[in-house]
C-alpha cells in the first residue's frame, strides 16, 4: 500500500474531499453560467428574441457551457502548475538561506515555534535539531513563514479534468428542460427548478465532504447561484424591454 492510499484510508479521505475545491468551483460556475443564458433570454421581452428563444438558449447555452468548461479546466491546470513552480522556487531559496545563514534561519524557526505555543526550551531544542535536517526545516519554514503548502500531492492535469467535468455536468442541468420541451414560460420555470436542484445537490456534496452544518452548505451555495441568476434575468429584462 503506497503512502497516498494509506493517507486516504487512515483519514477517511474520499475523492469528493480531495477534489472538493474543483467540484464546488467548477459546478457552481457551470450552473450559473448556463442559467445566466436561460435567465437572460427569459428576461428579454422583445419579439425577435421570443421567436428564436429556444434555439438561442440551446446554441448559446451549449457554446458557453463547453467553451467555459475548457477555459475553467485549463485555468485550474495552469494555476496549479504555477503554484508548483512558485513553491519549488521559494523552497530552493529557503534551502540556500539555511545553508548560507544557518544561525539566522535557526533563530527565525525558534521564534516561529515559540509563537505557535512551544515553551522556549523545547522550541530551542527543536530548532537546533531541525537545523541539522535542512530539507525538513525548509518544509516547516515554507508552511509557517510563507503560508505555502507542498502542492506535489495535487496533480494539475487531474484537477483540471475534475473542474472541467464538474462544470459540464452541473452546467448542463439548466438546459435540460429546453431539450425536452418547447421554449415556454413553463419551460423556464422547469429550468429554474432544475437549477435550484443542481445548486442543492452541489451544496449537499459540500456538506457530505466537510461535515459542516447542512443548512449553511446548501444555503450559501443556493444564495450565490440565486444572486447571479437574478442579475442575469434583470439584465435580460432591461435590454429586451
pLDDT in tens, 142-153: 888 787 777 777
pLDDT in tens, 114-160: 888 888 888 888 888 888 888 888 888 888 878 777 777 778 889 89
% of the chain with per-residue pLDDT over 90: 7
Q: Which pLDDT score, from 0 to 100, does residue 53 have?
A: 59
Does 240 have pLDDT greater than 80?
no
Could you tell me which residue, 182 or 192, shows the higher pLDDT? 192
Q: Which pLDDT score, from 0 to 100, does residue 165 have?
A: 92
Could you tell me which residue, 223 or 182, shows the higher pLDDT? 223
Residue 138 sits at the vertex; the CA angle it makes with 134 and 139, to the nearest 5 degrees, is 120
Mean pLDDT over each residue of the chain, to the nearest integer: 81
Does 110 have pLDDT greater than 60?
yes
Q: Which pLDDT score, from 0 to 100, does residue 161 have?
A: 92
% of the chain with per-residue pLDDT over 70: 86
Residue 38 sits at the vertex; the CA angle it makes with 35 and 42, to the nearest 5 degrees, is 135
Q: Which pLDDT score, from 0 to 100, does residue 194 have?
A: 92
How confident is the model over 74-90, as a mean pLDDT?
89
How confident is the model over 153-179, as a mean pLDDT?
89
Outline where the chain has alpha helix (H).
Answer: 3-10, 15-18, 20-43, 47-100, 102-115, 120-131, 134-144, 156-172, 176-180, 185-210, 214-240
Spatial CA neighbour of 31 closest among 171, 164, 198, 223: 171
Does 32 have pLDDT greater than 90?
no
Q: State the DSSP code for 154.
A: S
Q: Which pLDDT score, from 0 to 100, does residue 239 have?
A: 64
Burial of residue 70 (number of CB atoms within 10 Å: 0-12, 13-18, 19+): middle
pLDDT-wise least confident of 1-5, 57-61, 233-237: 1-5
pLDDT in tens, 206-237: 887 777 888 888 888 888 878 877 777 777 66
pTM higher than 0.85, yes or no?
A: no
Q: Which pLDDT score, from 0 to 100, does residue 169 have?
A: 92
Rounded Cα–Cα distance for residues 27 and 230 (Å): 18
- Rama region for 183: left / alpha / beta (φ>0; ψ in -120 to 50; rest): beta
Q: State the DSSP code for 153.
A: G
DSSP string, 181-201: S-S-HHHHHHHHHHHHHHHHH
Amino acid at each position: 500500500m503506497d503512502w497516498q492510499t494509506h493517507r486516504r484510508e487512515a483519514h477517511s479521505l474520499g475523492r469528493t474531499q480531495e477534489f472538493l475545491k474543483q467540484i464546488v468551483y467548477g459546478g457552481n460556475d457551470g450552473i450559473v453560467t448556463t442559467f445566466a443564458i436561460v435567465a437572460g433570454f427569459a428576461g428579454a421581452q422583445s419579439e425577435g428574441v421570443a421567436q428564436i428563444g429556444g434555439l438561442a438558449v440551446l446554441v448559446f447555452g451549449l457554446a458557453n457551457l463547453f467553451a467555459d468548461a475548457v477555459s475553467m479546466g485549463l485555468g485550474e491546470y495552469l494555476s496549479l502548475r504555477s503554484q508548483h513552480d512558485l513553491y519549488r522556487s521559494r523552497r530552493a531559496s529557503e534551502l540556500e538561506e539555511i545553508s548560507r545563514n544557518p544561525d539566522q534561519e535557526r533563530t527565525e524557526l525558534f521564534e516561529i515555534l515559540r509563537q505557535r505555543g512551544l515553551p522556549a526550551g523545547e522550541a530551542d531544542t527543536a530548532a537546533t535539531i531541525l537545523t541539522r535536517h535542512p530539507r525538513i526545516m525548509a518544509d516547516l519554514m515554507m508552511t509557517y513563514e510563507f503560508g505555502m503548502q507542498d502542492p506535489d500531492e495535487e496533480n494539475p492535469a487531474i484537477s483540471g479534468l475534475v473542474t472541467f467535468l464538474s462544470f459540464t455536468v452541473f452546467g448542463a442541468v439548466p438546459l435540460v428542460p429546453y431539450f425536452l420541451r418547447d421554449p415556454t414560460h413553463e419551460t423556464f420555470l422547469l429550468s429554474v427548478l432544475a437549477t435550484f436542484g443542481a445548486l442543492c445537490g452541489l451544496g449537499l456534496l459540500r456538506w457530505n465532504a466537510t461535515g459542516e452544518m447542512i443548512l449553511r452548505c446548501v444555503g450559501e451555495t443556493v444564495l450565490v447561484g440565486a444572486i447571479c441568476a437574478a442579475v442575469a434575468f434583470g439584465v435580460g429584462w432591461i435590454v429586451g424591454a
